[in-house]
Copies of this chain bind each other. A is one copy, B any other.
Amino acid sequence: MPNHGAKAALYDALAESAKALANGRRAELVDVLVQGERSVEELAQEIDQTVANTSQHLQRLLRSGLVESRREGTRIYYSLSSPLVGDLWRTMRRTAEEHVAGLEQLAADYLGDRSKLRSITRDDLRARLRDGDVVVLDVRPEAEYAAGHIRGAISIPIHDLRSRLGDIPDGAEVVAYCRGPYCVYADDAVRMLSGTSVTAARLEDGFPEWAEARLPVTRPPE
């Protein structure tokens, strides 16, 4: 293929990591994989695609070196090759937020009206954690909590929240968080908690951003 010069071939290769992310479905995949490894079937469900199509996208990511896979019995688990890939995804996302026209509208279309939901920034939560007067609630699936969470957070996956409302101390001030700024689990949690005895707000972004900012986390031993 490189019947063009050495410089062109080099820059083609440098652009390879962008090509890998240059597709909405693959962006969704990386966004999930940032939370930890997943099987093909789980990923297919997350991005609402057929298993065959998901598998093809994963192999595209594999070829570009951005993800790795391991087999466990009949399942194959994919994971990011390094935290650098998550950094790239977030930088890319931030750039799109800043520069891509129409993005706010699309975000609003997907997320619905967030204006009535109380929210809190990373820095605010950090300060309140120091004061110790807040319950931090991780509403992601159990496995993602296990792979790493905000230090001191408790885990109640969003799908269990309704039946486990009793686990939250009466009158507590709750801050719920999930996968990131475009994840709706924390929104749902705050909506569900409004009207109960607890006060609830959502963290403006999720665990990966918290970890990237080098704020205190708990991770499983290697």
Where the two chains meet, the residues of A that have a C-beta atom closer than 8 Å to any C-beta of B are 5-19, 21-28, 31, 48, 64-66, 81-82, 84-85, 87-88, 91-103, 106-107, 109-110, 182
Name the one of B13, B97, B102 contacting A106, with C-beta atoms under 8 angstroms: B13
- CA distance in complex: A10, B96 (Å): 11
> Which one of A48, A95, A182 has the greatest number of beta carbons of chain B within 10 Å?
A95
- CA distance in complex: A215, B19 (Å): 32
Q: How many copies does the complex hold?
A: 2
- CA distance in complex: A107, B14 (Å): 10
Q: 18 interchain pairs (CB within 8 A)?
A: A7-B48, A8-B24, A9-B24, A10-B182, A11-B182, A12-B24, A13-B106, A14-B93, A14-B100, A14-B103, A14-B182, A15-B24, A15-B92, A17-B99, A18-B19, A18-B27, A66-B99, A85-B99
Knowing A22-B18, A82-B99, A91-B88, say if A10 contacts B106 (CB, 8 Å). yes
